[in-house]
Structure formats: structure tokens, C-alpha cells
Amino acid sequence: VPRATTVIGDGFTVGGIAKGAAMLEPNMATMLAVLTTDAEIDAAAATEMLRAAVGTSFNCLTVDGAESTNDTVLLLANGSAGPVDPDALGAALAEACLSLAVQMADDAEGSTKTVFLTVTGAASDAEAAKGARDTANCQLVKCSWYGEDPYWGRIAAEMGAAGIAFDPDTISISYGGQIVYAAGQAQTVDEAALTTHMAGRTLDLDVDLGQGSGTARVVTTDLSHAYIDENMRTS
């Protein structure tokens, strides 16, 4: 399935196409994406901008924790739109890359859920990223998404096992904006609203560690019977 995106800027346009299926934990590693723009920009500035955009998009994507073997992202700029505001171009590039990354998650092997997992309140951004990635790649957590089960226990356990600053009494865990666990205990929720959220294609999972101001976000997927079917035999 081809994935494409177009971001219209003020006087310029950014386009992108990409392929990717699973074996996806880009570290710039089986993913191929090409971005194009008519903005006029020199190679050094374009490289810096693309690295930043990749950092908050493709490199925040993990399907199965299996590092992809040969990722490539290319940016082509023909300059026909002339000089543009670099901040606006950077933002457009980041938006285009994120759109492609989310489209990859949406049709990753066997994926039935695309999960936006945001960690806040970590001791540092690096600790937030470690906790987010360990949780995103946990088989048990992935199974719970497939089962549409707001299973906070394993999420807390993964954060606690991630080797980051952690206190079970300060962590809060929310699905679709509803706090399911906080202050050391399960919280009363609107069961109907929570069930509706868990049944959706997209899940929003927010974890506040209550330790500091570090943040991170990863985009990931569930673990389904179809994932196993696609990967149990290579031929």
C-alpha cells in the first residue's frame, strides 16, 4: 500500500511518499520514504531540518521492536518556490514525516490499532523515551490493545522495569483522556466512554510518571493473530 502526504505551506509545498510494513523500528533502518518540496533551501539546512523531522516521526515509530534493516529517507528540493521561512518549512517537513509514519502504523503487518503513547513527567526526555519504547514493544501490552483492554497493570510494570525514575504512587495512566490509574490505585471511569475509545482504530495512551519534566511520544501498533500469520513462515 503506497502512503503519501502533502503539506501546503505559505508559498511552498512539501510532498512525501513512503513504504514500510513491519520489522519496523526505524533507527533510520526496511523503510523507504521520499519527501519533495519546491522550497529553495541549501543542503546543510535541509539535512538539519530533515533530521529533526525524522526524529519526531519515523524514529518515534515502532511496530514490533525489530529494528528495520535498511531504512532510507530522502528529501528532494527543486527550489522553484524560492526562499521560504525555515521554521515554516521545518514544521511542514515534520508534519509530512509524521503523517507518513502514522500511515505506516495504520497498515503495518496485522495491525488493528495505532497507538499514540505519550510519556510525560519523566526525569529526562531520554528516560521518557526509554519508558515509552519498552512499553510500546511489550508483548503483553500489545496483546491488551488487541483485546481492547485498558490494562494499566502491565503498563506500570514496564515503566517500573525500564530502569528509569519511577514511583507507583506518582504514576498516572490514561486512555482517551480518562485516568484509569493514579495515586497508587485504579480510578473510577466512564466505562461506556472508555469502551468506545478502546474499540477505536486509534488509541491515545498517556502516562505521567510524576518525576520531572521529561517527555516523549512513540507511535506503535498492537499484536494480533494476523501479525503471527504474516510472520510465522517466510515462504
C-alpha cell at position 190: 466512564
Q: Which residues are catalytic?
A: 30
Within residues 124-153, the interface with a copy of itself by CB under 8 A covers: 138-140, 143-144, 146-147, 149, 151, 153
Q: Using an 8 Å Cβ cutoff, are 198 and 148 in contact?
A: yes
| 195 scored as a contact of a copy of itself (CB under 8 A) | no
By C-beta, is 30 or 124 nearer to a copy of itself? 30
Interface residue with a copy of itself, options 52, 66, 102, 182 (CB under 8 A): 66
| 233 scored as a contact of a copy of itself (CB under 8 A) | yes
Q: How far apart are CA 80 and CA 218, in angstroms?
A: 35
Helix then strand then coil, in percent of the chain rounded to 5, is: 35, 30, 35
DSSP state, 168?
Answer: T
Within residues 7-26, the interface with a copy of itself by CB under 8 A covers: 22-23
Four-CA torsion 176, 120, 118, 24, nearest 10 degrees = -160
C-alpha cell at position 231: 510472520
Q: Which residues in this chain contact a copy of itself in the complex, by CB under 8 A? A: 22-23, 29, 64-67, 69, 138-140, 143-144, 146-147, 149, 151, 153-154, 157-158, 161, 223-225, 227-228, 231-235
